[in-house]
Structure 1
Amino acid sequence: MRNFTRLIQNEWLKLTKKRSFWVPPVLLIVISVLVTVMLYKFSSNVAEIDSVAAYLAGMVGASGLGQFAAILSVVGTAGIVAQEYAQGTVKFLLIRSRGRGEILLSKYTAAVMYTLMMILIAGAALYVSGGFAFGFGGTGAQWLDVLRESAYGFVYSLVYVTLAFMVGALTRSTGVAIGAGLTGSMFGGIMIFKDFYKYVLFPNADLSVYGTAGPPLPGMSIGFSLIVLAVYMAIFLAAGYTVFRRRDVA
């Protein structure tokens, strides 16, 4: 367990040492502040927002800033496997006394940590900017809504980060991995009103719709979507692991 924890620490250090590490978080902070200012100055619905908690509940999920958090999380983590091949450093990883499964899992854990960091940064930026705009405070029910929407936003981001992670492991291309993650997130807004479509990844990724518009398609529920997402993510990780374990890097 200690060795695996060290692997995770090493992967996180690799991420933080990249010059591009803080670009997505800084962009997310800037976008959060700009969106808050624009809504406060020009939105006709601003009178309906009575506290920062109400603002956060409406903005931190996938239908708000969570969409940008997902995109920037994909950009920040898509190359975590592919760049090892591009830089030739994957050979040094594999000659150590570590299993390929441990190496891949440590990289995925670092990607999950980065995704969680992005959600927390989005929440903090929205809290500060929204607090000045709409007033700090909120009811207990509103803060529970914030926690729920934050969890939904994290799941949404993690789905597409996992998709990009798998594509990066399969193709060894950071560009293709980013493209797959971004394309997947764009397909989330497309709805095909056929029964088979409820088993597709995209309409299940945004769990926040169950608290607003209701089930996207008949027969869908939040439990159904969680099961579908778990199956897809298990397939993504299994595919990435299988290829990573069998690929010859000599």
Structure 2
Amino acid sequence: MSRLFSFWKLVHNENLKIYLRLGTWVMIGILAGLSLLIPLLSYTVDRSAAITLQDMVFSLLPMLNVCITIVTIVVAAGIVSSEFAWGTIKLLLIRPWTRGKILLSKYIALVLFALFMSVLVFALVFGISALLFPNMPGPGLWSDFLMTSVYKFIDLLVIATFTFMLSAVFRSNGLSIGMAMFVFMFGDMVPMLLHPAKYGWAKYLLFHNMHLYNYMHGSTPYPGMSFGFSSAVLAVYFAAFLAISWIVFARRDIA
């Protein structure tokens, strides 16, 4: 029990490093402001428009999910590399924690941050939209929305884990952010350039298997692929990203 408590103190310490930065609260403030401002502007501009709660939430959250991903990338890119850039990694390693526990605590803190941002934005968008547009949709629509939100969080987790790997591999925050942003912004172009119908091996690429919500209601975005197949491929990539992070971090010289 004492070891578990000591580990969660380490996770708490990593959380403090994230939330004590002014830049983190600036990004949170911008996201929170957008979550409240856009529904309010929509209501103010045309109160006679037949806008429903469902319309507002379903149309606004995809855009805000992109913003959440960008914020998470910025945090993930520096969560390991900044320790080497600032020289604070030496202070961590002289304490009675293994490198594996230090890396795991950083990853848990990153996942908790991504979850916090997702829940915060959803709560703000739903709260203000429910006040301004109180047309409640049926339970079936909310069930679809909940499942879509879960799948979108999986996408966020994959991108965050990929950026976390880059942060462990490279010492530069800027390089980690730049590479992760490039992959995130242009990743959706890969399926158009390398379609599985033409290139059979392409179905094993990361971006052909993301967006699991495309499989909802029995649909199949690409021939020869299924929800189980894409989930398994994502799990392999997820494990590979974490394994590379651990191998590089465990062997890196801090001198």
TM-score range, shorter chain: 0.7 to 0.9
Deviation, 1:98, is 0.5
CA contact (8 A) 2:212 2:230 kept: yes
Per-residue deviation, residues 120-178 of structure 1 (Å, max 9, x unmatched)? 12201211232244326332222222321221121111111111110010011111111
Aligned pair 1:131/2:133, yes or no? no
Moved more, 227-236 or 31-40: 31-40
Deviation, 1:212, is 7.8
Aligned pair 1:10/2:1, yes or no? no
Per-residue deviation, residues 93-130 of structure 1 (Å, max 9, x unmatched)? 01111110000000000000011011112201211232
Aligned residues between the structures: 244
Counterparts of 1:37 and 1:213 in 2: how far apart (Å)? 36
Counterparts of 2:12 and 2:213 in 1: how far apart (Å)? 32
For 1:225, give the aligned amino acid.
S
Report the equivalent of 2:237.
Answer: 232
CA contact (8 A) 1:24 1:76 kept: no
Please, which of 53, 73, 83 is the counterpart of residue 51 of structure 1? 53
Aligned pair 1:24/2:23, yes or no? no
CA contact (8 A) 1:24 1:75 kept: no
> Tell me, which stretches of 5 or more residues in structure 1 are unaligned?
none
Moved more, 201-210 or 232-241: 201-210
Report the equivalent of 2:119.
Answer: 120
Taking structure 2 as the reference length, the TM-score comes to 0.86
Deviation, 1:38, is 6.4
Please, which of 231, 240, 246 is the counterpart of residue 241 of structure 1? 246
For 2:20, give the aligned amino acid.
K
Q: What are the residue-to-residue correspondences of 1:31-70 with 2, within 5 Å?
A: 31-36=34-39, 47=50, 50-52=52-54, 55-57=56-58, 59-60=60-61, 63-70=62-69
Deviation, 1:230, is 1.1
Q: Report the CA distance shift for 1:16/1:224 in structure 2 as closer, same or farther (over 3 A).
A: same
Counterparts of 1:40 and 1:231 in 2: how far apart (Å)? 45
Deviation, 1:5, is 1.1
Counterparts of 1:139 and 1:124 in 2: how far apart (Å)? 19
Moved more, 127-136 or 196-205: 127-136
> Tell me, which stretches of 5 or more residues in structure 2 are unaligned?
none
| Percent identity of equivalent pairs | 39
For 1:4, give the aligned amino acid.
F
Counterparts of 2:159 and 2:238 in 1: how far apart (Å)? 9
Report the equivalent of 1:202.
Answer: 207
Deviation, 1:58, is 5.2
For 2:29, give the aligned amino acid.
V
CA contact (8 A) 1:185 1:202 kept: no
Report the equivalent of 2:150.
Answer: 151
For 2:186, give the aligned amino acid.
F
SS of aligned partner of 1:21 = helix
SS of aligned partner of 1:15 = helix
Per-residue deviation, residues 8-39 of structure 1 (Å, max 9, x unmatched)? 11111111111112122222223334544566
Counterparts of 2:187 and 2:45 in 1: how far apart (Å)? 28
Report the equivalent of 1:87.
Answer: 86
Report the equivalent of 2:167.
Answer: 168
Counterparts of 2:68 and 2:86 in 1: how far apart (Å)? 27
Q: Report the CA distance shift for 1:136/1:91 in structure 2 as closer, same or farther (over 3 A).
A: farther
For 2:53, give the aligned amino acid.
S
SS of aligned partner of 1:65 = helix
Aligned pair 1:215/2:214, yes or no? no
For 1:205, give the aligned amino acid.
M
CA contact (8 A) 2:52 2:133 kept: yes
